[in-house]
Structure 1
Amino acid sequence: MLQKCRICDKEANSYCTGCFAVAYCGKDHQKEDWKLHKKGCIKAYTVRDDPVAGRVMVAHRDLNEGEIILKERAVLVGPNIDSSSKPLCVSCFKSTSKTFVLCSKCSLPLCSQKCQGNPLHAAECRILSQNKEAIFSSYSKRSVAKRKKIPINVNYQVILVLRGLLLEDKQLESIMSLQSHLEERQQMGKTKIVDDSIIPIINQFRIKNADEEKIHNLCGIFDTNCFELFPTGAGDTISGVFPNAAMMMHSCYKNTRVMFSDDHMMTLIARSKIKKGDNIYHNYARTFNPTNIRRIGLFSGKHFSCECVRCKDPTELNTFMSVFLCPCSGQIIPKDPLDLTPTAVSTCNKCKKSTPSLQLAAKERELLMELENIDRLDVKAHEQFLIKNNKILHESHAFLLKIKKELSVAYGGYPGYNIQTITDDRLELKEKYCEEIISICNFLEPGLSTQKGLSLFELWKARSEINKRNFSKKLLSSEEYSRNIKKNVDILERSLRIMEYEPENSLHGVLVKEIKKLIKQEKSY
């Protein structure tokens, strides 16, 4: 979002890094203003000790919607450490599934020779060149099997650990100060995965102070504290470590919004007003997941049990995102959504029949697996999931909303489903699904919700096309057609007010430019 210089009112390109409340066109005007500004320069947040959560971030002053809380560049970025990474270039993170080149020094697959000189790859390149086979090899029961040097055989889970071990002392110290939950990881068997798939590879290289305890701690820190990034053109999500941002407490009803630029800079803003002294929350789970799935994921990945205002509410703040339907058409609502013991029950609000909560949780896991096996571009499979499950799940159940969210983009955006050629029925469904997603966001993500901004843009697409079709069918007069265009511009402007905070050099930043262009175009009609 463009700001004006506090001194000359020209377009600003930098902020005061103390408070982020004022902006300047350059260093000269920032220096000029410092004598006056320093009296009121108050940092947006402070860190305090919480008896349960440890170090947490709290508002140091009242924060308005959209106000910057923090800007922080990642200390470390790289492929995920859970062995789930798709083949990608370790320098720019583009996909290497179809085309790649081998680094001439270490043999690691890259998207092009240009990426060989990327500073991000430099330190690990020197290490990997000691043993060009190791990063491709498979390790099982202390035996080593060499594999072909192709992207799919790369042990990507090692890259982030290598980069951590090779950091300068000050940067490494900032990471090592974060929680690793090593004891909990040992109890869950996660340390064995590190012993089997990471340490044997690291041990093939000569790395100073790369002892097993440090490797285990790093893996725990990454597992617990990493943020997920998706740079423009990336072949997969990547992990980033932001030590200051890691101080945010979790809540499934967050009050912040996190944005990332392609150069791995995080911008954290207040999604809604935050009062001085209030905790600053980030949601480390997926908004469009039911309570059990969110809580289990947080416990296994972040090692804490969420008891936020949303998780404790049987109706999830009246969104019913975890509610099953009873054969009598009533809603099966848990007595205590935090209770998953064998005696826990959920009761129909109509016929009063009780169902073991564990039975519903098992059905949820079954549906989640089915959902995750659907190819993103398989529109008909998404539609079939809706048809199959809309009689057992509340219309606002998280799984149905996930499908509707996907279809709201697919209709008019996926191959074979062009906005000009999709059926009238699908176009109307696109509109309906967008409205449903926006309504849920108003409950669960009030304020500057990224998803709301994206769904508003898709809603404009739907209504704009509906307007064109109705006019071509002579169902509208020229005056009505023009009025509808103006109404639809309002939807675009609402989307822009949310999305304009996105960094220019980001995936969503590209969308912001498109929205601005469309607004200008539509207003000129």
Structure 2
Amino acid sequence: MIVRILLLRQHDPEQFALIARMESHTEERRQNAVLWRHYEEKVVQRLRVTWQLEDLEAEQVHEVCGILDVNCFEIGQNGAKARTLYPSAFLLAHDCTPNTAHTDDPRSFEILLRTSRRVREREALTLSYAYTLQGTLKRRAFMHEGKLFWCCCRRCSDPRELGTDCSALVCATCRTGSVRAVDPLQQTGDWACDRCAHKMGATEVERQLDRINNDLEDIDVHDIPGLENFLLRYRDVLRPNHYLLLSAKYSLCQIYGRTEGYLLPQMTPEDIARKESYCREFLEIVDVLDPGLTRLRGLIMYELHAPVMVLTQSAFQSGQISRQEFQRRLKEVVNLLQVSRDILLMEPEGSTENAMGQAAADALSKMGC
């Protein structure tokens, strides 16, 4: 890819000019000795020595490497991924609560960028370079490592992450307080309990998070008892909205109803209620951190409609709720399906998300909506 870009200098100067105007952060990369040495050994020397392309200037190769790292989008569906550069989408600034969403066409590789919520006049258009379900400490480190800047957005600046508390730990000393970063923009700064004098260093917090994350990654994504056990083991260590607990809940939202032994007809009312609870808890966070017409929100709303429908029908048939309450809950089901349909049908044909959008549309049709 690097060679193809450099060959554009002779073969398509206009195309090369579009790429050359993209930010590379070359000077910042040069100051990162480990990063610079990696590209010098694995890319520059390989091209100039092993491939015998001595005409390629080392500085220009580093420049292209930087452009790719800073500006590339990862696209592709169902495991087939590619890195791509777009001549206008790269201009969007980063924000951890962005106002745009994007998807890509796996056939043409075109990117579709759209606003995900109402945008005020003169408000910058933004997208997120990081994963929504990560805490500030990890999110900022990821962006600095790959994009070479420290994010200072509203979410990163707020120890409570816009009220979601996605990074808060349970205080190991008093057991009642919450431990948060004193100043989240100080990457190596202290974390402190809001009830007692207990403090932790950022390095200690990061080690603890890495250990818990490794535990989570060791659990098979279809292992419902394993994920439930993870939630139990760490409920006295992590606050309820902590991103690692949310990650486990997100998996459970998706696999309850789809895994053998836990298919919808096989699930107990308690299991169904648990799925509903996880979906609602997750949706409450998404409505703050990734609001509007976003893929994550559409997926969870689709997952939520089934337990609400099943429990509503059961409660009405057993006389636990009135007809008026039954109709109110049915309206919620319809709304969940309509919003998820509208969001997910914007995803590329052939994708899992688009198929779920079609399923939502079919369900609405059967309900006469």
CA distance in 2, matches of 1:244, 1:265: 12
Q: How is 1:69-218 mapped onto 2 (pairs within 5 angstroms)?
A: 160-165=1-6, 168-186=12-30, 187-199=32-44, 202=47, 210-218=56-64
Counterpart of 1:256 (choices 72, 91, 100) is 100
CA distance in 2, matches of 1:412, 1:196: 49
- 2:68 matches 1:227: no
More strand by share: 1
Q: 1:496 to 1:181 in 2, by over 3 A?
A: same
Matched residue, 1:332: 179
CA distance in 2, matches of 1:517, 1:166: 50
Q: 1:354 to 1:518 in 2, by over 3 A?
A: same
RMSD (Å) for aligned C-alpha atoms? 2.9
- The two structures have a TM-score, normalised by structure 2, of 0.86
- 2:191 matches 1:346: yes
In the alignment, is the contact (CA less than 8 A) between 1:272 and 1:448 conserved in 2?
yes
By relative contact order (CA 8 Å, sep 6+), the higher-ranking structure is: 1
Structure 2: runs of 5 or more not aligned: none
- How far off its partner does 1:362 sit? 2.7
1:91-118: CA deviation from partner (whole Å, max 9, x where unpaired)? xxxxxxxxxxxxxxxxxxxxxxxxxxxx
Q: 1:495 to 1:351 in 2, by over 3 A?
A: same
CA distance in 2, matches of 1:376, 1:175: 39
CA distance in 1, matches of 2:35, 2:220: 29
Counterpart of 2:159 (choices 295, 298, 314) is 314
Q: How is 1:394-473 mapped onto 2 (pairs within 5 angstroms)?
A: 394-467=239-312
- How far off its partner does 1:459 sit? 0.1
- How far off its partner does 1:280 sit? 1.5
What is the DSSP-based 3-state SS (H/G/I as helix, E as strand, rest coil) of the residue aligned with 2:266?
Answer: coil
CA distance in 2, matches of 1:278, 1:378: 44
CA distance in 2, matches of 1:197, 1:415: 46
- Deviates most, 206-215 or 429-438: 206-215
What is the DSSP-based 3-state SS (H/G/I as helix, E as strand, rest coil) of the residue aligned with 2:22?
Answer: coil
CA distance in 1, matches of 2:262, 2:45: 48
CA distance in 2, matches of 1:253, 1:480: 35
Identity %: 28
In the alignment, is the contact (CA less than 8 A) between 2:291 and 2:297 conserved in 1?
no
CA distance in 2, matches of 1:197, 1:495: 44
What is the DSSP-based 3-state SS (H/G/I as helix, E as strand, rest coil) of the residue aligned with 2:120?
Answer: coil
- The two structures have a TM-score, normalised by structure 1, of 0.62
What is the DSSP-based 3-state SS (H/G/I as helix, E as strand, rest coil) of the residue aligned with 1:267?
Answer: strand
CA distance in 2, matches of 1:164, 1:465: 55
Q: How is 1:228-247 mapped onto 2 (pairs within 5 angstroms)?
A: 228-231=74-77, 234-247=78-91
Q: 1:443 to 1:481 in 2, by over 3 A?
A: closer
1:387-419: CA deviation from partner (whole Å, max 9, x where unpaired)? 211111110011111111111001112455322
CA distance in 2, matches of 1:198, 1:228: 20
Structure 1: runs of 5 or more not aligned: 1-159
Q: Which has the larger Rg?
A: 1
- How far off its partner does 1:452 sit? 1.3
In the alignment, is the contact (CA less than 8 A) between 1:437 and 1:452 conserved in 2?
no
CA distance in 1, matches of 2:18, 2:214: 37
The count of corresponding residues between Structure 1 and Structure 2 is: 361
CA distance in 2, matches of 1:323, 1:392: 9
- How far off its partner does 1:505 sit? 6.0
- Deviates most, 418-427 or 479-488: 479-488
Q: 1:396 to 1:190 in 2, by over 3 A?
A: same
Q: 1:484 to 1:252 in 2, by over 3 A?
A: closer
